[in-house]
Amino acid sequence: MAMQPQPTNRDNEVWVKKWVDYSSKYGLGYCLSNEATGVFFNDSTKICLDPNGFHFDYMERRSADRQDVGREYTLTDFPKELQKKVTLLQHFRSYLEGTEKPNPNAKVPDEVQRRQRRI
């Protein structure tokens, strides 16, 4: 009996909509079809902002076993050593979306903070 191919649910597919290569200085920024935005930095770390624009994942590679280790943060609560990368993420996002520079001091609405993560 021949196996039938499984149908795919295209609603769950995610692809890169736009990207910008700034690897000469910082890394590669991208915007996905689900509205998530991320950056692959030159130091092999990665950051990805949830489509709600408030939560983000930060991943770095352990040198001992070369495994990626990720942590989840919000734009209002993250370690100070990530400040430069969070700022770069926001700049990449603004550039890719064609919007003005984000205001890092803007208050995030409560409904966004309570919203469920989408990635």
Give me the domains of the chain, ranges plus CATH numbers: 17-101 (3.30.1120.30)
pLDDT at site 63:
79
Q: Please tell me the pTM assigned to this model.
A: 0.72
| Least confidently predicted of 37-41, 45-49, 58-62, 97-101 | 97-101
Q: What are the residues whose beta carbons fall under 8 Å from the beta carbon of 1, sequence distance 6 or more?
A: none
Model confidence at 102: pLDDT above 50: no
As a whole number of angstroms, the distance between CA 88 and CA 111 comes to 25
Angstrom distances, CA of residue 105 to CA of 36, 75, 101: 21, 10, 12
Write out pLDDT tens, residues 44-95: 999 999 999 999 999 998 777 888 899 999 999 999 999 999 999 999 999 9
Q: What does pLDDT average to over the chain?
A: 83
The backbone torsions φ and ψ at residue 9, rounded to the nearest 5 degrees and listed phi first, read -100, 100
- DSSP character for 51? T
